[in-house]
Structure 1
Amino acid sequence: MNPISTLFNNPVLDLDRLQKVEAMPEPRSRYIIAITPRSGSTYLCDIMKKTRRLGIPEEMLGLLSLPGKLKNIPGRTPDEYIRNAVRVKKTANNISGLKASWFQFQNFTAAMHDQAYLSGFKYIYLTRRDLAAQAVSLYKATASSVFHSNKQHSEQELNQLNALEYDYDAIKSWYDHIVVQEKGWQHYFYKNRIFPLCLSYEDIEDDVLVVLKRIADYIGVKPENISIPEEPSAFTKISDHRNAEWSRRFTLEYGLMNEATAG
């Protein structure tokens, strides 16, 4: 059985909270940021929240975090939960947003009964053009448990990160993982005739304000009302010289491996 379905078999719910959430009005516009890991989504969503006009996009569909989410956003079924999450994660201008990786989205929506509800979302597809750099970043994060700069990490975690060495096989595994997620999203969009707003990590690096305005226009918010928030993001890059070096090395070795296989 789908583990999401199992989670909703006997959920312990705050019924008073459920009633309050269900009484909230539906947003006038709702979107999902369709992500791949290490594509800049955490930073982007933080900036979006701080504009106070672009919804409150967060990961809401992941299996591991769902039990905690259900305490504040109760739902008796996956369908009820996602509708309530959309109600809660909206800004005063009635814009609501969620974000999800392909695997989170695939597992959660497979447990839904009314998938027609998904057609009411606008989709923002966030990827990274440099897949090698993305795979290196994901390898370093998963091997050390140092994912983001907004929290204090233990000395052990930081030591693991600093001691980490290049590992072609591990990076290749994460590279393939990213590609599978990209293909999953792309197939979903094609199958459902969805034409998402396509953004990249590199777009965010180049000019995050342009990205915010593009998102605003896409989801029905006047771009001229969007500006860079005065409050800085808590998220900054945690890369070092190894990221660029390992990305170049992996790209070279990956190309050579493919040539050898083809030959």
Structure 2
Amino acid sequence: MRGIARLRQLLRRKWAGYAPISALDRAQFDQDMLRPVPQQQYVMFFTPRSGSSRVADLLSRTKRMGRVTESFNPNFMPNMTRAMNAASLEDYCLMLERRMQKGRVAGFQITQPQLHVVFGNESRFLARYGHCPTIWLIRRDLVLQAVSLYKMVTTGVSHSPHLSADALHHAAAGLIYDAAAICYWINHLRHIERATEALIARLQETGAQAPLRLCYEDNAAAPAAACIRAIAAHIGVDLPQDLAFVSPHRKVGNDQNQQFAERFRNEHPALINQLERERATMLGKITPLPTPDAAPP
């Protein structure tokens, strides 16, 4: 819990609030408000290092499912709110749906820490987006996910579209095994999982549609089309049969990640057993995707 509180403090430092109206082009804001609103919006909850950037890129490339980003990431909001001439959260949400839509559909990704920093509480978020179809993206292997997050924070390398194999190798060359750091990130990820599950349960108490539950490992094993078409079907979007699904995003992790994860499992068997018990129900709800062997040619 202390780690989550610290993260929220760090995110708040990145996000100091909206620019004053005098610094914005409100005439352009009024003009942009004349744009049509999307016919459908959707929300993707996710945990860090779950392959969310690749999924967002693939969704955006369909040109029918919105320009999907972490629209409420405090790291990005200073630039995004100014670009949209938004002087308040209400302004920003109204402009996001108009300017980030494609094919009359808009969607965004968000984590629980981002939600609380930007919206203040879940009730404010649900008042605006509680009616939207939701996707919940996680990772089955929590230890490997925590290693990946530790590696990202330590090296500063998060995604790979524009990095060579040599650059990726060089970034991780000096990384040392740190069990305490891996444990810290496991607890961080578990907090996000528990909080998101509680939010989903709150949504379903209102009669909302159950989320489409996806995981990193299934998305990586199945054709890209399987994941994106599953999301499209869930939110009610028809995609052409001849649509191509190609993304420059590729796996950043290497043998070092596997070695660190295996060492951690061997050193902390009691924790691993506890995690398996705690997460069993959640993992059992993941929507299966077709494997390459089962996919149509």
Class of the TM-score when normalised by the shorter of the 2 chains: 0.7 to 0.9
Whole-angstrom CA distance in 2 between matches of 1:222 and 1:16: 36
Deviation of residue 122 (structure 1)? 1.6
What is the correspondence of 1:106-125 to structure 2 with a 5 Å cutoff? 106-110=116-120, 115-125=126-136
Which residue among 133, 140, 146 is the counterpart of 2:144? 133
Aligned-partner SS, 1:45: helix
Q: CA offsets, 1:152-172, max 9 Å, x none?
A: 59x999645211111111111
From 210, 221, 232, the equivalent of 1:216 is 232
Partner SS state of residue 246, structure 1: helix
**2:155 touches 2:171 (CA, 8 Å); kept in 1?**
yes
Name the counterpart of 2:269.
255
Aligned residues: 255
Query: Distance between the aligned counterparts of 1:157 and 1:20, measured in 2?
Result: 44
1:169 aligns with 2:180: yes
Query: 52-61 or 36-45: which moved more?
Result: 52-61
What aligned pairs does 1:98-113 form with structure 2 within 5 A after superposition?
A: 98-110=108-120
1:96 is aligned to 2:144: no
Letter in 2 for 1:196: P
The aligned residue for residue 18 of structure 2 is 8
Q: Report 1:1-263 matches (<5 A).
A: 3=12, 7-8=17-18, 10=20, 12-91=23-102, 93-110=103-120, 115-152=126-163, 159-193=170-204, 194=208, 195-207=210-222, 208-223=224-239, 225=241, 227-229=243-245, 232-256=246-270
Give a deviation string over 1:165-214, Cα, whole Å, max 9, x none: 11111111111111111111111111222421111101211212111111
| Contact 1:79–1:114 under 8 Å retained in 2 | no
CA distance in 2, matches of 1:216, 1:156: 35
Where 1:192 maps in the other structure, the secondary structure is helix
Length-normalised TM-score, structure 2: 0.78
Please identify, of 36-45 and 187-196, the stretch whose mean Cα deviation from structure 2 is larger: 187-196
Note closer, same or farther for the CA distance 1:118–1:239 as it changes in structure 2 (3 Å cut): same
Secondary structure, aligned partner of 1:227: coil
**1:61–1:226 distance in 2 versus 1, CA, 3 Å:** farther
SS in structure 1 of the partner of residue 43 of structure 2: strand
The question of whether the paired residues in 2 share the 8 Å contact of 1:213 and 1:226 is answered with no
Identity among equivalent pairs (%): 25
Instruction: State the TM-score, normalized to the length of structure 1.
Output: 0.87
The runs of 5 or more residues in structure 2 that have no matched partner are 1-8, 274-297
Equivalents in 2 of 1:72, 1:101: separation in Å? 22
Q: Per the alignment, do residues 37 and 99 of structure 1 end up closer, same or farther by CA in structure 2, a change over 3 Å counting? A: same
Secondary structure at 1:188 match in 2: helix
Aligned mates of 2:65, 2:270 — CA distance in 1: 44
